[in-house]
Chain A
Amino acid sequence: MAEQKTVTFIITRQDSPDSAPYEETFHVPYRKNMNVISGLMEIQKNPVNAKGEKTTPVKWDMNCLEEVCGACSMVINGTARQSCAALVDHLEHPIRLAPMDTFPVVRDLVIDRERMFDALKQIKAWIPIDGTYDLGPGPRMPEKKRQWAYELSKCMTCGVCLEACPNVNDKNDFFGPAAISQARLFNAHPTGEMNKSERLEGLMEKGGLVGCGNAQNCVQVCPKGIPLTTSIAAMNRATVVQSFKNFFGSDNAH
């Protein structure tokens, strides 16, 4: 039988949140059409590194396996992306995997994206419809606007835009482009619009949209092609208008 073809993975590993990262190499049997995750699964099945030593299986995060949930994001050959959608046949070899270390590393390739979810809370990225009685149907959304909003709604909080952003780091509390675009999405919704100012206030709070320095990496790397920088500029205008209303306006009924 011909020699089994293998794929080499060089993985940046870390045993605990506080320990130092190190690299470990693995040779994994090749299969046709495999993606990075199936390679990681092979390592999990047989956690032996390139030197033939038995080691701990590499940990990573995943869920949907179809580039919708955002959980499996990692830095693959220097670029942050989803490992489920990274096909081995399309990658340069050896394949280098590293965690998106803009975020706190939990273990190996597992990161903690909590700052993104905190940001969504800060900007109230939801539409409050709960009440003590049935409020009835909300206003309708024009089809053209719905199609436009659908593009913004594709955000899966994957963190790739934060990883690419020079202003998102451990010295800076900027919450990143994703939440800014979500504020725009919910403010565009006919019902969500009723709480527009609350989201804009959230954007104006600490860590909010003024943390953006317009490096515009986010829009280049977004796996969903979301117009993040247009969203940022649009929210810049909206918050300017809001702050003028707050200061010069007659009352706070907006």
Chain B
Amino acid sequence: MVDHREYFYRRLHSLLGVVPIGIFVVQHLIVNHFVVYGEESFNKAANFMGSLPFVLALETFVIYLPILFHAILGVYLVLNTRNNPRRYGFFRNWMFLLQRVTGIITLIFIAWHVWQTRVQVALGNTEVNFQLMEGILTQPFYFWFYLISIIAVVFHLANGLWSFCVSWGIAQSPRSQQIVTYATIIVFLVVSYIGIRTIIEFV
């Protein structure tokens, strides 16, 4: 093989965004949705997730390392782009820009969110439960920060699913790419609903 590193890293970047990161995000939002059925229900679910066997290994290999790789290469890609939607205001060009904007928002949010929750738990300052999230989300600043960030994360995931389908050659014809666009809009709406419904419940 000649120099295929760039090719390999970009393919890995695209794959990791869906498996495992995309799956994890959807799972995370669905589990959080337990709060809609009551505080007790949420605590039970959070407890179950937190007490999975090999939890640290699962977190490291399914969540931390893939996100770290996806984020580092992602920032590099953002820096190597010259966005031009003002001159070329096509739909996909705007989506291309939004993918980068939401990627950066997601990165800032994840860093903050991990610091506020997982790191504080690891330091022994708190426990993952309803009170922790209620304490955060009843502050208006954090409520809006979480709300906007969740929408950004879900957008990044849904639009990322579209470009995943193109980048792996699954959707080739303009027609199939159009249909995938519609499908990812539905994904965006449904997953956003789950996320927003959840954080509203804490307030």
Interface pair B172/A234, CB less than 8 Å apart: yes
A230 touches B88 (CB 8 A): no
A62 CB contacts on chain B under 8 angstroms? none
Question: Could you say which residues of chain A place their CB within 8 Å of the CB of B95?
Answer: 215
A229/B174 in contact, CB under 8 A: yes
Tell me, rounded to whole Å, the shortest Cβ–Cβ distance linking B83 to chain A: 5
Partner of A206, one of B6, B80, B166: B6
Measured between beta carbons, the chain A residues less than 8 angstroms from B83 are: 166
Bound-state CA distance A213–B167 (Å) is 8
| Contact indicator A210/B10 (Cβ below 8 Å) | yes
Q: How far is the CB of B78 from chain A (nearest CB, A)?
A: 10
Contacts of B200 in A (CB 8 A): none
Are the C-beta atoms of B79 and A206 separated by less than 8 Å? no
A208 to B6, CA, bound (A): 9
Question: Once the chains bind, are B88 and A220 in contact (CB under 8 Å)?
Answer: yes
Closest B residue to A237 by CB, please name it. B169
Does any Cβ of A come within 8 Å of B11's Cβ?
A: yes
> B7 near A214 (CB under 8 angstroms)?
no
User: How many residues of A are counted as interface, with CB atoms below 8 angstroms from the partner's CB atoms?
Assistant: 38
Could you tell me if A233 and B166 are in contact, using CB atoms closer than 8 angstroms? yes
Interface string of B156-196 (1 = CB under 8 A from A): 00000011001111111110010000000000000000000
Chain B hits for A215, CB < 8 A: 90, 92-93, 95-96
Which residues, 87 to 107 on B, are CB-close (under 8 Å) to A? 87-88, 90, 92-93, 95-97, 99
Whether B90 pairs with A220 at a CB distance below 8 angstroms is: yes
A82 contacts B by Cβ under 8 Å: no
- Residues A204 and B177 in contact, CB atoms below 8 Å apart: no
Contact (Cβ within 8 A) B4 A237:
no
Is B125 interfacial (CB-CB < 8 Å)?
no
Given contacts A215-B93, A216-B93, A233-B172, contact A210 B7 (CB under 8 A): yes
Is B81 located at the chain interface by the 8 A CB criterion? yes
A252 to chain B, nearest CB (A): 10
- Residue A246, interface by CB 8 Å: yes
CB atoms of B172 and A237 under 8 A apart: yes
User: How many Å from the CB of B108 to the closest CB on chain A?
Assistant: 21
Using known A-B contacts A205-B7, A210-B11, A229-B174, determine if residue A236 contacts B88 with beta carbons closer than 8 Å.
Answer: no
Does A217 contact B82, Cβ atoms closer than 8 Å?
no
Contact bitstring A185-204, B, C-beta under 8 A = 1, else 0:
00000000000000001001
- Select from chain B the residue with minimum beta-carbon distance to A234: B172
Verify B92–A216 contact, CB threshold 8 A.
yes
Decide if A171 touches B6 in the complex (CB within 8 Å): no
> Which of B2, B77, B97, B168 is within 8 Å of A236, CB to CB?
B168
CA distance A164 to B85 in the complex (A): 10
What CA separation (Å) do A171 and B172 show in the bound complex?
28
B1 in the interface, Cβ–Cβ < 8 Å?
A: yes
* Chain A, range 202-253, C-beta contacts under 8 Å to B: 204-208, 210-217, 220-221, 227, 229-230, 232-240, 243, 246
Contact at A214–B88, with CB atoms within 8 Å? no
A210 vs B55: C-alpha distance in the bound complex, in angstroms? 34
* Least CB separation from B13: chain A residue: A210
A225 to chain B minimum Cβ distance, whole angstroms, is 12
Once A214-B163, A246-B1 are accepted as A-B contacts, the answer to whether A240 and B168 lie under 8 Å apart by CB is: yes
Interface residues of A in 44-80 (CB under 8 A from B): 78-79
| B7/A208 in contact, CB under 8 A | yes
Given contacts A213-B81, A229-B174, A236-B168, 12 further A-B contacts (CB under 8 A): A208-B6, A214-B163, A215-B96, A217-B88, A217-B92, A220-B88, A230-B173, A233-B177, A240-B11, A243-B4, A243-B7, A246-B1
Query: Can you report 21 residue pairs joining A to B where beta carbons are below 8 Å apart?
Result: A164-B88, A166-B82, A171-B79, A171-B80, A205-B3, A208-B6, A212-B167, A213-B163, A215-B90, A216-B90, A216-B92, A216-B96, A217-B90, A217-B93, A230-B173, A233-B171, A233-B172, A233-B177, A234-B169, A236-B166, A236-B169
Q: Which A residues form the contact surface with B (CB < 8 A)?
A: 78-79, 164, 166-167, 169, 171-172, 201, 204-208, 210-217, 220-221, 227, 229-230, 232-240, 243, 246
